[in-house]
Structure 1
Amino acid sequence: MLRVHFTGLDLARLRLAGGPDALWETVLSLHRLRDKQGESIFGDWRSETRTRLNGETRLLGPLVPSRGYFPDFLTPPEGVLGLESGMAAVRATAPERVHSELGRLTTARTLPGWIRSMAEGEARAFRKLIGALGAYHQAAVAPYWTHVQARIEADRAVRGRALLAGGADALLSSLPPMLRWRAPVLEADYPVDRDLHLNGRGLLLLPSFFCRRTPVTFQNPQLTPVLVYPVRHPTQAAPAVTAAPRSLGKLVGQTRSAVLGSIGGGCTTSELARRAGVSAASASQHAGVLREAGLVLTLRHGSAVLHTLTPLGAALLRGGDQSSMARGGAQSSMPERSTPATM
């Protein structure tokens, strides 16, 4: 179990990443490519990705083992700014840090010569690493980046709603089931027993598409604290449709009421259509009407869109509670306190 210890200052400095981190997604996808779990979620992705690879996993495999430790310098904070920024930060890692972190790798065989050369600061070895990371990312992650962004934005919408409703305490309580907030400690399912003391540095929460089952954090406790946790995927068990009050169906129509209840913690148009049992065109049309009525918010990521409930839409699904409507109403910008859907 991992125990993350907060102080009052840490709660004030709790942050949620603004989007996916290109290098965390790249490195964690290597784990997903080689394991056999989550076939319903990652099976098609694995099959498609393997057809595009050209030996990158063989090069990167010793550096990123199937399980356990991988060097912290592979996932610098700059990865959230994009792949190029992240790889520039990797390239600029101090040689003594590279040497130290590569020394912690536990492998069944001796590390390849080019990785040993990288530990000694050889520039050509770093160029080989950057080339392999870039090629792997283009084959395994880049073709799905819009979908990765949409799933992470859905998670951010849920966390943001919790933060607005109840502050840092509500945000930490809203995290997926493998994370349990027992103030002032956040407990997490983890492969080893470990304590992480934030000591006033705060914590960056980073939702991840390719993280699975347990969160991930840096091995070095001196680095800026980050906790990477898995988003919920549409095929995972979750209430797909919230039962809307009958009166809501009479007001907006049964199909539109079902569409509103199907949005849950956030979904794309195709996911919405599948949940509500309608065509994609119909789902898009109904979502547009609900958006114009102030019940749904639509965010765009490239060619994909993500639909989330507004506070008014969530209130209607709760049954149109008169007291909450009177306090918030359609004019309020703050959501009522509620338990966000678990992603």
Structure 2
Amino acid sequence: MLRIHFGAVDLGRIHIAPGPDPAWEALLSLHALAGHDEDVGLRSWRDRLRGELAPAARPLLRLAPPRGYSPDFLTPAQGVDSMESGIELILSTPRTQLRTDLATLGSERRLPSWAEVLANGRPEALRGLGHALRGYHEQALAPHWSRIRAAVDAERELRARAFLAGGTDRLLGSLHPTVRWEPPVLLVSYPVDSELRLEGRGLRLVPSFFCRGTPITLRDTTRSPVLVYPVARSITALEPAPVAGTDRLARLLGRTRAAALYMIADAEHTTGNEIARRLEISPASVSEHATVLRDAGLIHSLRVRNTIRHTLTPLGLGLLEGRPTVRQDACCH
């Protein structure tokens, strides 16, 4: 059992990560990739990636084993909003922490020879780690990032509603089936007995797509407190998108519009030019279809300089997965 002790100040310093944390998703997806549990929602993703994982990324599996301790420095305590910013923080880890974290890992399992070079903060080892993390993210996570983000955004909406309906008690009390709120202590089912005293530092809640089973936190209790917990996701969340024109959405939205929605679901921040090129339609037609999808609440569109980038909303994700989804502006009790 993990016991998180709150003080009065801590209750006012709870905040939820603004989106999926790329560093945590990378670490936890490595756990899922190397693990043997029967998570049917990740089975096809795991099977494909095990056969195709780039050689440069394979050392990460030794650094982040599916059971036991993984080095805290792989998940910066302050959180990151992009893999690049996460890599920058990871590579700037003080040598003392590198040595401490890798020594802790080494006390539980035999480490490869390169781990000692990394523990000493050698520049070539750090560059290799950055290259491995960057390549892994591009191969394993980036193609699915819009779906990962949509699942996390949906969870954030649930937490917001819980807080509005019942304040901090409802927020913490409904966090996850393995979590129980007995003020002033949050009880979390955990592999080992552990105490985390917040002592005015507050708590950062991180909803995670790849977190499995029970929530997780850092072993080093002197770092900024964080609790990472699983979000609900469809068992087909990482399945390849169906071909447009062969499913129900093509009949509902039309073949081209359905194809555009699937494209936006399958790639992070899809641009209008990418949609036009792949669907062989004009940019004006893409703009028209995107306007309809946006007005229906299925996508978000953001202008970055001269480019429009589209991402899926939780409502759009629900439509693709065939499950009921409540519009953000719908009235609820």
Q: TM-score range by the shorter chain?
A: 0.7 to 0.9
Letter in 2 for 1:118: L
Letter in 2 for 1:74: L
Deviations 1:181-211 (CA, angstroms, capped at 9, x unpaired)? 1111111111101111111110000000000
1:33-44 aligned at under 5 Å gives the runs 33-44=33-44
Q: Tell me if structure 2 keeps the 8 A contact 1:78–1:85.
A: no
One of 300, 309, 314 as aligned partner of 1:306: 314
Deviations 1:64-95 (CA, angstroms, capped at 9, x unpaired)? 12211111111114653200000000111111
Deviations 1:90-125 (CA, angstroms, capped at 9, x unpaired)? 111111111111110146764222210111121111
Match of 1:31 in 2: 31
| Residue correspondences, number | 268
Match of 2:248 in 1: 279
Q: Tell me if structure 1 keeps the 8 A contact 2:98–2:119.
A: yes
Q: Distance in 2 between matches of 1:213 and 1:73?
A: 22
CA separation of 1:189 and 1:299: change in aligned 2, threshold 3 A: farther
Q: Tell me if structure 1 keeps the 8 A contact 2:298–2:312.
A: no
Q: Tell me if structure 2 keeps the 8 A contact 1:19–1:80.
A: no
Match of 1:222 in 2: 222
Q: Tell me if structure 2 keeps the 8 A contact 1:30–1:57.
A: no
Paired residue secondary structure (1:126): helix
Q: Distance in 2 between matches of 1:229 and 1:283?
A: 35
Q: Tell me if structure 1 keeps the 8 A contact 2:63–2:71.
A: yes
Query: Is 2:120 aligned against 1:120?
Result: yes
Q: Distance in 2 between matches of 1:284 and 1:167?
A: 39
Q: Tell me if structure 1 keeps the 8 A contact 2:299–2:311.
A: no
Match of 1:17 in 2: 17
Q: Percent identity, please.
A: 42
CA separation of 1:207 and 1:38: change in aligned 2, threshold 3 A: farther
Letter in 2 for 1:116: E
Q: Distance in 1 between matches of 2:35 and 2:89?
A: 28
Q: Distance in 2 between matches of 1:35 and 1:110?
A: 18
Residue range with higher mean Cα deviation, 114-123 or 13-22? 114-123
Paired residue secondary structure (2:52): coil
TM-score by length of 2: 0.73
Letter in 2 for 1:167: G
Q: Distance in 1 between matches of 2:328 and 2:20?
A: 25
How far did residue 153 of structure 1 move? 0.6
Residue range with higher mean Cα deviation, 78-87 or 149-158? 78-87
How far did residue 313 of structure 1 move? 3.6
Q: Tell me if structure 1 keeps the 8 A contact 2:2–2:194.
A: yes
Q: Tell me if structure 1 keeps the 8 A contact 2:2–2:187.
A: yes
How far did residue 282 of structure 1 move? 6.8
Q: Distance in 1 between matches of 2:159 and 2:251?
A: 28
Q: Tell me if structure 2 keeps the 8 A contact 1:62–1:107.
A: no
Provide the alpha-carbon RMSD of the alignment: 2.6
Match of 1:273 in 2: none
CA separation of 1:99 and 1:300: change in aligned 2, threshold 3 A: same
Q: Distance in 2 between matches of 1:282 and 1:80?
A: 40
Q: Tell me if structure 2 keeps the 8 A contact 1:206–1:228.
A: yes
Q: Distance in 2 between matches of 1:153 and 1:97?
A: 32
Unaligned runs of 5+ in 1: 237-269, 271-277, 286-291, 316-335, 337-343
Letter in 2 for 1:5: H
How far did residue 176 of structure 1 move? 1.5
Q: Tell me if structure 2 keeps the 8 A contact 1:33–1:46.
A: yes
Q: Tell me if structure 2 keeps the 8 A contact 1:7–1:198.
A: yes
How far did residue 233 of structure 1 move? 1.6
1:160-239 aligned at under 5 Å gives the runs 160-235=160-235
Q: Tell me if structure 2 keeps the 8 A contact 1:77–1:86.
A: no
Letter in 1 for 2:208: S
CA separation of 1:109 and 1:72: change in aligned 2, threshold 3 A: closer
Q: Distance in 1 between matches of 2:227 and 2:32?
A: 18
